[in-house]
Amino acid sequence: MDWVSIGGRIRRQREFLGYTREQFAELLDVTPKFCSDIELGVKGMSVQTLCRISDVLRLSTDFILFGRENAESSSPITQLLRSCSPSELAYAEQLLKTFIMAMNAKKNRFDKRFFFCVHSRWGMDQISPL
């Protein structure tokens, strides 16, 4: 087993999800020192700890241990979505829709301001913005 690589994958996902080492340790019911040792590859872990890490980080045990990913799940967000239950997916879908709508509204406001500024600058004030 390449414990250093395993620990690196765990650490990258923990940081991606925004957990501090202390928060992560609490979720796993282990000490922060033990988490540090796992992430640095100093210590291995039991199957039970591996399964808890897999659940908390929403990674497959195969990926944690061997770094293998399916071709279809190359991005962290894809991995997260694949690990969601049907009810969690429904919430995730609503969140993504809300996010997209907010980004589109923000872009729309920018586009309208840009349109107005360009026309005002070129002396086309008589054309009203959308």
- Amino acid letter, residue 97: K
Q: Is residue 114 within 8 Å of 128, Cβ to Cβ? A: no
What per-residue confidence (pLDDT) applies to 75?
77
pLDDT value at position 113?
A: 58
CB atoms within 10 A of CB 3: 16
| Tens-level pLDDT at each residue, the chain (130 residues) | 899 999 999 999 999 888 999 999 999 999 999 999 999 999 999 999 999 999 899 889 999 999 976 555 567 788 788 888 999 999 999 998 888 778 877 766 665 555 555 555 555 444 444 4
CATH number at 3-82: 1.10.260.40
Contact (Cβ atoms closer than 8 angstroms) between residue 13 and residue 76? yes
Coil vs helix vs strand at 11: helix
Q: Which two tokens stand for residue 125?
A: 């004030």
Domain spans in the chain, listed from the N-terminal domain onward = 3-82, 84-130
The full DSSP string for 34-77 is: HHHHHHHTSS---HHHHHHHHHHHT--HHHHHH----GGG-SHH
> Which pLDDT value is given to residue 128?
44
What are the two backbone dihedrals, phi and then psi, of residue 73, each rounded to the nearest 5 degrees?
A: -120, 55
Looking at this protein, which amino acid is placed at residue 88? E
HSE-CB of 108 using CA atoms within 13 angstroms: 7
The helix or strand, by DSSP H or E, that contains position 96, with its residue range, turns out to be helix 86-121
